[in-house]
Amino acid sequence: MRILITGAAGFLGSHLCDRLLADGHEVIGMDNFITGRPENLAHLAGHERFHFIRHDISTYIFIPGKVDAVLNFASPASPNPESPYGYFNLPIQTLKAGALGTLNTLGVAKAHKARYLLASTSEIYGDPLVHPQREDYPGNVDPIGPRAVYDEAKRFAEALTMAYHRTHKVDTRIVRIFNTYGPRMDLNDGRALPNFLKQALLGQPLTVYGDGQQTRSFCYVDDLIEGIVRLFYSDEHYPVNIGNDHEMTILEFAETINRIVGNRAGIAFVPQGRSARDPQRRQPDITRARDLLGWQPATDLESGIRQTIPYFKEQLGLS
pLDDT for 195 equals 95
Per-residue pLDDT averaged across 144-163, rounded? 96
Per the domain annotation, does 67 fall within a domain? yes
Strand, coil or helix: 287:
helix
Percentage with pLDDT > 90 across the chain: 90
CA 183-106-164 angle, 5° bins: 125
Judge whether 71 and 6 are in contact, CB under 8 Å.
Answer: yes
Strand, coil or helix: 194:
helix
CA 23-26-30 angle, 5° bins: 115
Q: What is the mean pLDDT of the chain?
A: 95
pLDDT band at 88 (very low <50, low <70, confident <90, very high): very high
Per the domain annotation, does 120 fall within a domain? yes
Count of domains for the chain? 1
Per the domain annotation, does 83 fall within a domain? yes
Model pLDDT for residues 162-191, shown as the tens digit of each residue: 999 999 999 999 999 999 999 999 999 888
pLDDT for 49 equals 98
Judge whether 242 and 178 are in contact, CB under 8 Å.
Answer: yes
Judge whether 251 and 208 are in contact, CB under 8 Å.
Answer: yes
pLDDT for 278 equals 65
> With 70 as the cut, is the pLDDT of residue 274 above it?
no
pLDDT for 276 equals 45
Per the domain annotation, does 258 fall within a domain? no
pLDDT for 9 equals 98
Kindly report the CATH number assigned to the domain that includes residue 8. Answer: 3.40.50.720
Per-residue pLDDT averaged across 221-243, rounded? 98
Q: Is the peptide bond before 91 cis (omega within 30 degrees of 0)?
A: no
Q: pTM, whole model, 2 decimals?
A: 0.95
> With 50 as the cut, is the pLDDT of residue 233 above it?
yes
Between β-strands 2-6 and 26-31, what pairing exists: parallel, antiparallel or unpaired? parallel
pLDDT for 98 equals 98
Separation CA 103–CA 166 (nearest Å): 15
Sign of the CA dihedral with 133 first, then 134, 137, and 141 last: positive
Between β-strands 215-217 and 247-249, what pairing exists: parallel, antiparallel or unpaired? antiparallel
Separation CA 171–CA 164 (nearest Å): 9
Per-residue pLDDT averaged across 289-313, rounded? 97
Pick the most confident of 66-75, 127-136, 188-197, 310-319.
66-75
Per the domain annotation, does 274 fall within a domain? no
Per-residue pLDDT averaged across 291-312, rounded? 97
Per-residue pLDDT averaged across 280-284, rounded? 86
**Residue 209: beta bridge partners?**
270
Between β-strands 206-209 and 215-217, what pairing exists: parallel, antiparallel or unpaired? unpaired
Model pLDDT for residues 34-49, shown as the tens digit of each residue: 999 999 999 999 999 9
> With 70 as the cut, is the pLDDT of residue 2 above it?
yes
Q: Between 128 and 117, whose confidence is greater?
A: 117
Domain residues for 39? Answer: 2-185+219-245+283-299
Per the domain annotation, does 313 fall within a domain? no
pLDDT for 296 equals 97
Measured CA distances, 252 to 68, 70, 122, 257, 305 (Å): 44, 39, 21, 9, 14
Per the domain annotation, does 191 fall within a domain? no
Model pLDDT for residues 185-214, shown as the tens digit of each residue: 999 988 899 999 999 999 999 999 889 999
Measured CA distances, 249 to 117, 216, 286, 305 (Å): 32, 6, 19, 17
Catalytic option among 150, 164, 181, 220: 150
Judge whether 36 and 92 are in contact, CB under 8 Å.
Answer: no
Separation CA 67–CA 210 (nearest Å): 49
Per the domain annotation, does 35 fall within a domain? yes
Per-residue pLDDT averaged across 273-286, rounded? 73
pLDDT for 273 equals 59
The answer to whether residue 125 is catalytic is no
